[in-house]
Amino acid sequence: MTKTEKEQTRNLTEEVYALCAKVPKGKVTTYAEVARALGNKSLARVVGNALNKNRSTEVPCHRVVKSNLTIGGFAFGTDAKIALLKKEGIEIEEKIGKRANRKIQKIARSEFLYKFD
């Protein structure tokens, strides 16, 4: 990776973190919504990768979920992400999925969804 590419990646990561910091307690947003706010909805995976590298408690990356409102990943584990969301008043719906009896955890209601202006 060239010096310019590293700088661009660092700048994009900082923009992702700044957007996540705008999501208030009690709300969540999606990886795609953060990407859209960056100007390119196809950057959703890039947003997820940037957030996965975050270790700062100042960046509330636990407030970013998948577009289908399922919880998604978290650097400290899904259980920790769910605990943080519940602590902030987000209702989590849990059910057993059809495939492999896998537990599906998602945001209970879209009223918790935050959109960037």
Active-site positions? 61
Our CA dihedral for 15, 89, 82, 115, rounded to 10 degrees, sits at -30
How are beta strands 29-30 and 103-107 bridged, if at all? unpaired
Closest CA to 71 of 98, 107, 21: 107
Count of CB atoms situated within 10 Å of the CB of 60: 21
